[in-house]
Structures are given as C-alpha cells and as structure tokens.
Structure 1
Amino acid sequence: MAQGSNFVDYVKICCRSGQGGAGSAHLHRDKFTSKGGPDGGDGGRGGHVMLKGNSQLWTLLHLKYRKHVIAENGEPGGSALKSGKTGKDEILEVPLGTIARDAETGKILFEITKDGETRILTPGGRGGQGNWHFKTPTLQTPRFSQPGEPGLEQWMILELKVLADVGLVGFPNAGKSTLLSVLSAAKPEIADYPFTTLVPNLGIVSYRDNRSFVMADIPGIIEGASTGKGLGLRFLRHIERNSVLLFLVPADTGRTIHQEYDILLKELEDYNPELMHKPRILAISKSDMLDAELMQEMEADVPPIPYIFISSVAQRGLLELKDMLWKAINEN
C-alpha cells in the first residue's frame, strides 16, 4: 500500500476564525481643541478560514495532521477615524472536488470545483464600529463604541471526490489496475486478491493529437458495498464525480457477463440512483484467452450497451477502447 497510502480523502479539522477588533471611543483632541467630537475608528474584521482550489493537488494529505487552523484577530480602531487592521485570513489549498461539510450537522456547505476558486469556510467576526457612528444631534460626544464580534470555532469535515472523466467500475480482480497502468503512466500496485486497490488510482490517458483524459480506478466493489459492507461506501463516493463509467468484466468470470454487469449496476443504483444516468461502456477484459467461437458465444449474452473485448496483457482492443471513451466523454 506504499503508493496509495498518501491518498487521503477525508480530514476533520477545527477551524477558528479571528475575532473582530473593537471600535474606538476616542474624542478628538489637539492643542487647539480641548473638547472635540468623536473620532474613534472602526475595528478590523477578524481573519476568515478559507478554502482555495488547487488543480495541482490530488489529496488532502497536507491537512491530515493539521488539526487546528486559527486565523488572526482583527485590530482595534484608532483615533482620527483610523480603522483597525483586518486579521490575516487562513487559506487552505485543497484539490478540486473537495466538499466542505459541518461536522456537527453533516450539512454540505459547498464544493470546490475550479482552480483558484476561494470560499469562506469559517467567517471572521466583524469589527466593532467606532464612536463617531453613534453621534446624533442630541448626543454630540458619545463615549462608547462597539466591541468586535467574536470569531467562530467549528469542526469541519473536508472530503474529496475524485474528479475524473472515466471511472473504472468492476469487481476486484477484474484487471482494472492493470488496464490503468497500460493505458496511462499510473503505477498502481497490482495483486490478485479482493480489495487490492484501497484508494482510487488516477491516470492521465494520452489520446490522439496530444489530447488526454483522466481515468480513475475506483477501488473494487463487492456485493453489499452500498450497505456499507467492506469499505464499499467510501469507495462508491468517488464514482459520483465521473462523467463516463467503464464497466470492466473479466472473460474468466464465474458468472455470465450479463450477470456480473447486473450485480455491479445494482450496487451503483442502490448507492445513488442518479448514477444510472451516466453513459456506460462495457469492456470484457482478459479476452486474450478467448477464441473466435467463445467470443461469439459470449456476445449473445452481452447487455445492450456499447462493448468491446480487450486484453491489457496482449494490448488488444485498447486503441478502440480509447476511441469509445473519448467519444462518450465528449458527447456527455
């Protein structure tokens, strides 16, 4: 798990925004004025805790051990209507596809989807108003001002949903990691036992004319994943973001192609019915062991979606698969 262990898709942090500075209750005085009017400036706003999208980040690892994020307090107002300095904002850079939610209520606050997009996670307290705001015809020299608003302290959950053009869906051992490593420069750990891939592996698949698309090997789901069996639920979350789903069913499955596909489809539907609207392509992997007769036999039992026989090892059908995926991504 060395390669995957630095993929962190869930962190819980305590955010404390800055307190607003107090307004000033100063009265104007100089060598010519012994009883001047109010000239107390406003307090500065407390610093926000903010999130900023960074397309170069793929994980939340850099926040995993940062349990407390504290923004600066605003400074108090001064004389001569001088406003206090705003507290420094604390800006956390996060990968695209990061969702912020309130840890207490579980409510989703927002999602970061664009590079450079900046959103306030925990707002800083407003600065208090200086005494000149409170001057009235009947109250010429108010000797009071507003205190600054306190900052907020909140536990927040940041969750990452992988943003990819193609999500690979299949049971463990279907050959997803192998396919990804052949199609892209990703180097996933490959072994032949269930739940080998414990984190989504992302690969950039290069296509004709210097174009490319992102493919994510979503960790293998097993029957019952949508009810939280195994590590299923956490994995299924990553599939929500993909625009095209590539179902991978091995030719040597113990069931028929249609049965295997139906089970995978049902898992996805139980988890989130909206996934049913995504374009689907079926790739029958490990087909280098099939002869023409066997293929014909299998074709009679293929579900009514675009399909292709491929072999990652023998490099068979891979270019045609890329063509199908590219077409589906761009139609979508």
Structure 2
Amino acid sequence: MRRSSGFILVSVMLAAATLLTAATAFAWFARAQSMAEASRERIYRFRGAAEIAVKVMSRRIDADSNGWDGPTEKLYDPYEHVKLEIGEFTVEVQIRPLNDKIAINALLLPDGVTLRSEYEAAWENIWEELGQPRLAREVIDFIDSDTDQKLGGAERDININRMISDLSELRAMPEITDGVLWGTEDAPGLAAYVTADGGEKLNVNVAAPEVLAVLDDTLTLSHARSIAAYRLVNPIRDMDGLRAVPGFPAALATKLANIIGFESDRFLLSVRVSDEAGNVRNYRATVERGGAGVYRWEE
C-alpha cells in the first residue's frame, strides 16, 4: 500500500510538473505571439503614416506647374525636409526630382528595336567612358525586342529581349560585372549615367555634368559644368534658357530637343516616420507626376 501510495504521489507530481511546464510554455508562446502581433500592428501604423505622407506630397508635386524642376525650388531643396504631423507620428519627407540620368528604356524607338538617333552618341560615349565600347551594341541586343543580331552586337540565349525594370537585370550578361554596373572606388559604373526609372527626357536642371557631357561629342565636360553652375542661379525653363548658358553651343539645343527637358516626371521621396517613443522607420517611394501613383516602394 505504501509503495502504491508513493507511486501515485510521484505520478501526480510528474503530471503537475508537466502541466505546469506546458502552461508556462503556452504563456510564453502567447506572450511572444502577442508581442509579434503588436510589432506587426506598429509596423502597419508606421507604413500607413508613410503612405499618407507620400499621397500628400504627390499632390504638392502635381500642383507644381511652373514648367521646371530643380533643387533651387523650396519643395525640392536637398537641405530642407517637409514635416507633417500624421496622427501619433511625425513624418519628414525630402523630395528629389529624377530624370537626372538617361533612361535605358527610352533608348529605343516604339518598335522596341531601333536605337533612337538622338541617343546614339550618348550611348557610345558612356561605354567609351567605362572602357567597354563593344558592350554598347551587345546590351542593346540584350534588351531589344527581336532576336536579330545588330552589327557589333550579340544575340544569345541569355538575352531577355525586353525592357528592364531594374539595372541589376543586366547582370545576366557575363560581361556586366558589379564593377561595370555599379562602379568601383576608382571609376564610375553604368549606373552613374543611366537608370531604369527615368522618363524619356533628361531634366537639364538636375542631371550631373558627367551625364550631360556624354550627350554629344560637341558638349564638353566644361560646357556641362557651366550648365550646372548657371542653373543654380538661373533655372533653365526652356531651350532659349539653355542657349543663354555662357559657352553652350547654341545649335546643340535644337539637336537635343527630343531628349532634353526642364522638369521631371518621376520623383524620389525619402520618408522618415517617428513616434513619441523614439521609434523610427524609413521608406523610399518613387512617384510619377500627374496622379499616376507610386512607381516603386522600398522600406
């Protein structure tokens, strides 16, 4: 009887310990689930505030109808941030006009095959700068819509034969290394000159001098730097304004009219959302002018 009673007591204690352990584990699991749910809810609230801010700033961009976009405008001043109070959050937004690089998807005519004549010199000059002149034609064969090899190009099984959504897609070509695409400490890469996010025209008010200088053989880096200095004081609103830049080859304005513009159709919004507890989340949104909405979202 004593042995039986002892066995029963041990069994009860083991069962109690098992139940206690299970209860504790369940409590910890429930707590972890609750914390995870709270974290997800907080992330959703942060994102919601960011999305509201992007919509507000998109409307301000659409309302800017002066015909030019550049960093000397208050809305796009790189040293200022627009601050918004949205519910429990403080949101700071900095807007940068894009169209500051050549859009790789704008290189071809609507047929998806023919390189636009206005961009021929620029495209060749870029690859000369990168020290890879033979890749100029090979990359065009990679992204054009047909399977016919161009003179000096290459049609291979790896070719995607379509427009790209991100420059990283070019890494499918064995010749395009990270250094060629993104640059190195010693030299710029393709990404310094072209983008997959831009519009058909390059905004002369925001493009870097190095980008402007590849557009035509008669447009030197010295000319391009003169444009960059001039636009800080005199925003360029039209072709007459471009011709007025000291030293700029006036005849070149007409030649480049189809690829040079003075405003942007895409903008990069850097969004910082913070709450009263000091928590911070950062977002980046690329928006299109004219109510087209968000083109790209990063967080």
* Bucket of the pairwise TM-score, normalised by the shorter protein: under 0.3
Higher relative contact order (CA 8 A, sep 6+): 2
Please give the TM-score of this superposition, normalised by the length of structure 1: 0.23
